[in-house]
Chains A and B, each alone.
Chain A
Amino acid sequence: MNKQDGRRAVVVTGARTPFVKAFGDFTTMDTIALGVAASRGALARAGLGVRDVDAVVWGGVILPSGSPNVGREIALDLGLDPRAEAMTVTRACASGLQAITLAAAAIERGEADVVLCGGSDSTSNAEIKLPQKVVHALAPLALGKPTTADYLGVLSQLWPITDLLPRQPKIAERSTGEVMGQAAERMATRNEISRAAQDAFALRSHQRAAAAIASGRFDDELVEVTTPEGKVVRVDGLVRGDTTLEKLGRLRAAFAKEGTLTAGNSSALTDGGAAVVLMSEAKARALGLRPKAAFRSWAYVGVDPADQLLMGPALAMPLALERAGLSLADIDLVDLHEAFAAQVLSVLKMLASDAFAQARLGRAAAVGAVADERLNVHGGSLALGHPFGATGARMVTTMANELARSGKKTALLGICAAGGLGAAAVLEAVD
Chain B
Amino acid sequence: MTDLLVDLGRNATARRLIGALGLPLPLPTALRRGRGPMPALCLADQSVVVGAAGAGGLVPMLAETLAAAGARPLLAGWSMDAFVGPGEAYGRPPRAAESLAEGQRVDALVFDASGLDGSDALAALHGFFQPWVGRVARSGRVLLLGRPADDPALTSGAAAAQSSLDGFVKSLAKELGRHGVTANLLRVEPGAEGRAGAVVRWLLTNRSAFVSGQALRVSLAAAGEASAAVVRPLEKRVALVTGAAQGIGAATARALAAEGAHVLCLDRPQEEAAATALARELGGTAVAADLSDPASIAAVVAAVAALGGVDVVVHNAGVTRDRTMARMKREHWDAVLAVNLRAVLALDAALDPLLREGGRVVCLSSIAGIAGNVGQTAYAASKAALIGWVRARARELGARGVAVNAVAPGFIETRMTAAVPVAIREAGRRLSALGQGGLPEDVAATITFLAGPAGLGVTGQTLRVCGGAFLGA
Inter-subunit contact B91/A355 (CB<8 Å) = no
Contact with A along B67-101 (1 / 0, CB 8 A): 01010000000000000111111111100000000
Contact with B along A349-393 (1 / 0, CB 8 A): 110011110111000000000000000000000000000000000
- CB B40 to nearest CB in A, in angstroms, measures 6
Q: Chain A's interface: helix, strand, loop or mixed, by majority?
A: helix
Inter-subunit contact B93/A355 (CB<8 Å) = no
- In A141-166, the 8 Å CB interface with B consists of none
Inter-subunit contact A191/B91 (CB<8 Å) = yes
Inter-subunit contact B40/A355 (CB<8 Å) = no
- Indicate whether B328 reaches chain A with its CB closer than 8 angstroms: no
Inter-subunit contact B41/A355 (CB<8 Å) = no
Inter-subunit contact B70/A356 (CB<8 Å) = no
Alpha-carbon distance A187/B90, docked complex (angstroms): 10
Inter-subunit contact A349/B41 (CB<8 Å) = no
Specify which chain B residues have a CB less than 8 angstroms from the CB of A187 in the assembled complex: 91
- CB B397 to nearest CB in A, in angstroms, measures 32
- Indicate whether B44 reaches chain A with its CB closer than 8 angstroms: yes
Inter-subunit contact A358/B89 (CB<8 Å) = yes
Instruction: Say yes or no: A349-B88 contact (C-beta < 8 A), given A190-B93, A192-B93, A307-B70.
Output: yes
Inter-subunit contact A346/B89 (CB<8 Å) = no
Specify which chain B residues have a CB less than 8 angstroms from the CB of A190 in the assembled complex: 91-93
Nearest B residue to A358 via CB reads: B89
- Indicate whether A130 reaches chain B with its CB closer than 8 angstroms: no
Alpha-carbon distance A154/B84, docked complex (angstroms): 59
Nearest B residue to A307 via CB reads: B41
Inter-subunit contact B41/A306 (CB<8 Å) = yes
Specify which chain A residues have a CB less than 8 angstroms from the CB of B70 in the assembled complex: 307
- In B88-117, the 8 Å CB interface with A consists of 88-93
Inter-subunit contact B88/A355 (CB<8 Å) = yes
- CB A67 to nearest CB in B, in angstroms, measures 39
Alpha-carbon distance A355/B40, docked complex (angstroms): 20
- Indicate whether A127 reaches chain B with its CB closer than 8 angstroms: no
- In A190-210, the 8 Å CB interface with B consists of 190-192
Contact of B40 among A304, A346, A360 (CB under 8 A): A304
- CB A404 to nearest CB in B, in angstroms, measures 37
- Indicate whether A125 reaches chain B with its CB closer than 8 angstroms: no
Nearest B residue to A308 via CB reads: B91
Nearest A residue to B72 via CB reads: A190
Specify which chain A residues have a CB less than 8 angstroms from the CB of B91 in the assembled complex: 187, 190-191, 307-308, 311, 346
Specify which chain A residues have a CB less than 8 angstroms from the CB of B44 in the assembled complex: 306-307
Alpha-carbon distance A307/B68, docked complex (angstroms): 11
- CB B400 to nearest CB in A, in angstroms, measures 29
Inter-subunit contact A359/B68 (CB<8 Å) = yes
Alpha-carbon distance A13/B307, docked complex (angstroms): 59
Inter-subunit contact B93/A356 (CB<8 Å) = no
Contact of A356 among B40, B41, B68, B88 (CB under 8 A): B88
Nearest A residue to B87 via CB reads: A355
Contact of B85 among A192, A306, A355 (CB under 8 A): A355
Alpha-carbon distance A358/B85, docked complex (angstroms): 9
Specify which chain A residues have a CB less than 8 angstroms from the CB of B84 in the assembled complex: 355
Contact with B along A333-353 (1 / 0, CB 8 A): 000000000000010011001
Contact of A359 among B40, B41, B86, B93 (CB under 8 A): B86
Inter-subunit contact A304/B41 (CB<8 Å) = yes
Residue picked from B44, B85, B87, B91, most chain A C-beta under 10 Å: B91
- In A292-332, the 8 Å CB interface with B consists of 304, 306-308, 311
Inter-subunit contact B89/A353 (CB<8 Å) = yes
- In B19-49, the 8 Å CB interface with A consists of 40-41, 44
Alpha-carbon distance A354/B92, docked complex (angstroms): 15
Specify which chain A residues have a CB less than 8 angstroms from the CB of B88 in the assembled complex: 349-350, 353, 355-356
Nearest B residue to A191 via CB reads: B91
Alpha-carbon distance A307/B87, docked complex (angstroms): 13
Alpha-carbon distance A66/B88, docked complex (angstroms): 46
- CB B29 to nearest CB in A, in angstroms, measures 27
Inter-subunit contact B89/A355 (CB<8 Å) = yes
- CB A63 to nearest CB in B, in angstroms, measures 31
Inter-subunit contact A359/B89 (CB<8 Å) = yes
Contact of B86 among A346, A350, A355 (CB under 8 A): A355
Alpha-carbon distance A151/B93, docked complex (angstroms): 58
Alpha-carbon distance A353/B86, docked complex (angstroms): 10
Alpha-carbon distance A166/B213, docked complex (angstroms): 53
Alpha-carbon distance A306/B40, docked complex (angstroms): 10
- In A112-144, the 8 Å CB interface with B consists of none
- In A56-112, the 8 Å CB interface with B consists of none
Alpha-carbon distance A81/B195, docked complex (angstroms): 64
Alpha-carbon distance A359/B90, docked complex (angstroms): 8
- CB A261 to nearest CB in B, in angstroms, measures 16
Specify which chain B residues have a CB less than 8 angstroms from the CB of A192 in the assembled complex: 93
Specify which chain A residues have a CB less than 8 angstroms from the CB of B90 in the assembled complex: 359-360
Alpha-carbon distance A308/B87, docked complex (angstroms): 13
Alpha-carbon distance A349/B93, docked complex (angstroms): 13
Specify which chain B residues have a CB less than 8 angstroms from the CB of A191 in the assembled complex: 91, 93
- CB B55 to nearest CB in A, in angstroms, measures 22
Alpha-carbon distance A307/B43, docked complex (angstroms): 11
Nearest B residue to A366 via CB reads: B88
- CB B43 to nearest CB in A, in angstroms, measures 12
Specify which chain B residues have a CB less than 8 angstroms from the CB of A359 in the assembled complex: 64, 68, 85-86, 89-90
Specify which chain A residues have a CB less than 8 angstroms from the CB of B92 in the assembled complex: 190
Alpha-carbon distance A358/B89, docked complex (angstroms): 8
Contact with A along B40-65 (1 / 0, CB 8 A): 11001000000000000000000010
- In A259-282, the 8 Å CB interface with B consists of none
Specify which chain B residues have a CB less than 8 angstroms from the CB of A346 in the assembled complex: 91
Nearest A residue to B41 via CB reads: A307
Alpha-carbon distance A349/B91, docked complex (angstroms): 10
Alpha-carbon distance A190/B73, docked complex (angstroms): 11
Nearest B residue to A355 via CB reads: B85
Specify which chain A residues have a CB less than 8 angstroms from the CB of B68 in the assembled complex: 359
List 20 additional contacts besides A190-B92, A306-B41; criterion CB under 8 Å.
A187-B91, A190-B93, A191-B93, A192-B93, A304-B40, A304-B41, A307-B40, A307-B44, A307-B91, A311-B91, A346-B91, A354-B85, A355-B86, A355-B87, A356-B89, A358-B85, A358-B89, A359-B90, A360-B89, A360-B90
Task: Give the 8 A-B CB pairs with smallest separation, nearest first.
Answer: A355-B85, A359-B89, A190-B91, A355-B88, A355-B89, A353-B88, A356-B89, A191-B91
Chain A residues with CB under 8 Å of chain B are 187, 190-192, 304, 306-308, 311, 346, 349-350, 353-356, 358-360
Q: What are 19 pairs between A and B in contact, CB < 8 Å? A: A190-B93, A191-B93, A304-B41, A307-B40, A307-B41, A307-B91, A311-B91, A346-B91, A350-B88, A353-B88, A354-B85, A355-B84, A355-B86, A355-B87, A356-B89, A359-B64, A359-B85, A359-B86, A359-B90
